Amino acid sequence: MSDLRELYQQTILDHTRKPRNFRQMPDANRAADGHNPLCGDKLKLFLKIDDQGVIADISFVGAGCAISTASASMMTEFLRGRRVVEVAGLFEKFHDMVTRPLEAQPEAAALGKLAVFAGVREFPVRVKCATLPWHTLQAAIKKDQAPVSTE
Amino acid sequence: MSTSISKRPRRAGRSAAAPPPGAFNPAALRADFPLLQTTVHGQPLVYLDNAATSQKPQAVLAALLRYYSNLNANIHRGIYQLSAAATAAYENAREKAAQFIQAPSAREIVFVRGSTEAINLVAASWGPAHVQAGDEIILSEMEHHSNIVPWQLLSQRTGSRLRVLPITDAGELRLDELENLFTPRTRLLAITHISNALGTVNPVKQIVSLAHARGVPVLVDGAQSAPHLPVNVRDIDCDFFVFSGHKMCGPTGIGVLWARGEILQAMEPYQGGGDMISSVTFEKSTWNETPHKFEAGTPNIAGAIGLGAAIDYLTGIGMEQIERYEHELLAYTREKLSAIGSLRLIGTAKDRAAVLSFVMDGVHPHDIGAIVDGEGVAIRTGHHCCQPVMDHFHIPATARVSLAFYNTRQDIDRLAAAIEKVKEVFA
Ligand SMILES: Cc1ncc(COP(=O)(O)O)c(C=O)c1O
């Protein structure tokens, strides 16, 4: 049970109960749908990217498990005000953090509060939950029309 | 683990009380299942995902080993003794499968990979010969995807359409709607015997009689009924019945399509290849007789023999006994889970078997599954391949407990304790 506590950190549970930036965005200039068929997680992500390529606003709606909801909530907080060109590198670091052993992550510090998701690495089936918001984000940035699926 | 089960304290009035001598004794049966002796996250495994697949008793494992060790040869083609013995074992398993569902003849038993392939076989072979543009097939809202998608493929190919018998909020079929769904274009009714998502037992005999009164044949998906109650296809009077070996103590990759002899005989082959022909020239081939006509290529010989062993094992216990015991255990499970506040049962039909789906306020089913797994309890979470059912209840997923005869009240007590842990984490 100790490692489950690693997974369900208080910060994560807090974001699950009260997701931040949980709202529609009628004037978004990017949006994408994400779906994890394994557990039925569904989310819709909204972005407003300004002329300088900065994420001026970001929000989401949907229904998902604790891990995917908290991941979406914390991702939106983390990314507001950052430049779109940074996203790919941050996602790579996040992905490494939830999939690779601790030693192999010299750059985890760059992820700030998102480090609470490090516990996911002990639960391979939950990697899809934690990364679904990020995959959806990438699709929104690329303006992909097809909904993202983790399967 | 086995000792903690066999030496249970005998405290009267407690769930752990030992059964009277001679009675059905799940604790003793558990000992037949090697996997049930294992631990998960350091705790004895409580396996409650039987609707997905059941565990396998030693007798089935031994049958597989015996086949490969002593009997392995291809069937229906060797003149030598070993091939003849393998053929006899394979055909003997067909006899057992026929008896298991009270089929009139083993020649009506087609071995397939499972329920999914059986339904696809009917849709691909029987379908185009009977279903044309503008025709209709009736399904129910509670079907597994495997009893939806093959018919969708058929309707796309033929220009026919699907009509859906809705369910109530209790998870029962709206039989009052059935009459309205029949039209002169109805060609087939395909219905599950027991819902894998809700546990509802459907009155298939009554449905068949309504359909036959309109001249409509009926396919019954028995994936969830064959493991849990005595099946008699003559009594149900359906035209097709399908089931999967792996859900009833048998190996994966083997299952059965039963269809009335005259229907099977009139059906075109499903796949072409060896064993399904009686003669081949480049101009024309002629088909072997049923059921071989539908079993192209080398079949899952070991799987069929393993299924035969599983059938022997189950009938040795007695399907009536299994049904009665699981019914009691389901009532106990319901009582235990209903006592947990914030938990809501999905599917409250009067006639139910083996399956209990639920959701919890403020907790996604996936998190329930992960936390109870941490306590050594395996349950399924998700849409259970029944997305229309989830849509009916406006939920993305449920947590599902599904029982087998080797589950005990102790298992259910462990489950209830694990769900309390879920509440703690999300308190
Ligand atoms: C009601 C029902 N039908 C069909 C199937 C498909 O069975 P299989 O995967 O063995 O082909 C299942 C399996 O979950 C089921 O529960």
* ipTM score for this prediction: 0.84
pLDDT of residue B30: 96
Any atom of ligand 1 within 6 Å of the Cβ of B196: yes
pLDDT of residue B4: 38
pLDDT of residue B1: 34
Residue nearest to atom 7 of ligand 1 (CA): B115
Residue nearest to atom 15 of ligand 1 (CA): B223
CA dihedral over B121, B125, B129, B133, signed as positive or negative: positive
Q: What is the pTM of this model?
A: 0.91
Q: Which residues of chain A lie closer than 8 angstroms to B364, CB-CB?
A: 39, 41, 63-66, 69
Asked: is B3-56+319-425 a CATH 3.90.1150.10 domain? The reply is yes
More confident residue, A37 or B131: B131
Instruction: Retrieve residue B329's tokens.
Output: 């255990």
> For the structural domain made of A2-143, what CATH number should be given?
3.90.1010.10
Cross-chain Cβ contact B364/A39 below 8 Å: yes
Distances (CA, A) of B242 to B123, B215, B256, B257, B323: 13, 21, 6, 5, 19
Cross-chain Cβ contact A41/B381 below 8 Å: no
Question: Which one, of B68, B59, B53, lies nearest residue B300 by Cα?
Answer: B68
Any atom of ligand 1 within 6 Å of the Cβ of B192: yes
Task: Give domain limits for chain B.
Answer: 3-56+319-425, 61-316
Contact B135, B178 (CB under 8 A): no
Min distance B140 CA to chain A CA atoms (Å): 22
Average pLDDT on A102-131 reads 85
Candidate of B247, B254, B257, B398 to mutate for ligand 1, largest count of ligand atoms within 8 Å of Cβ:
B247
pLDDT of residue B22: 58
Distances (CA, A) of B367 to B68, B344, B386, B417: 42, 16, 20, 15
Minimum Cα–Cα distance from A14: chain B residue: B426
pLDDT at A3 over 80: no
CA dihedral of A67, A62, A26, A138, whole degrees rounded to 10? 50
pLDDT of residue B21: 57
Instruction: Retrieve residue B343's tokens.
Output: 């938990």
pLDDT of residue B47: 98
DSSP state of B89: H
Cross-chain Cβ contact B370/A7 below 8 Å: yes
pLDDT of residue A148: 66
Residue B221 β-bridge partners: B192, B242
pLDDT of residue B6: 37
d(CA B147, CA B138): 11
Distances (CA, A) of B358 to B177, B355, B382, B399: 27, 10, 11, 5
Q: Which residues of chain A lie closer than 8 angstroms to B381, CB-CB?
A: 39
pLDDT of residue B276: 87
In this predicted structure, which of A31-45, A64-78, B2-16, B122-136 has the lowest mean pLDDT? B2-16
Point out the residues of chain B with pLDDT beneath 70.
1-22
Q: Name the pLDDT band for A108 (thresholds 50, 70, 90).
A: low
Active site residues of B: 385
Mutation target among B145, B363, B367 for the A interface, most CBs of A within 10 A: B367
> Order of strands across the sheet with B218-221?
B109-112, B255-259, B240-244, B218-221, B186-192, B136-140, B161-165
Any atom of ligand 1 within 6 Å of the Cβ of B381: no
Question: What is the Å distance from ligand 1's center to B414 Cα?
Answer: 27
> For the structural domain made of B61-316, what CATH number should be given?
3.40.640.10
Helix residue ranges per DSSP H, B72-114? 81-100
CA dihedral of B417, B420, B424, B427, whole degrees rounded to 10? 180
Contact B214, B184 (CB under 8 A): no
Any atom of ligand 1 within 6 Å of the Cβ of B146: yes
- CB-CB neighbours of B244 under 10 Å: 29
B397: nearest CB among A39, A67, A69: A39
pLDDT of residue A150: 62
Q: Name the pLDDT band for A12 (thresholds 50, 70, 90).
A: very high
Q: Identify the top-confidence range among A40-49, A69-78, A109-118.
A: A69-78
pLDDT of residue B3: 35
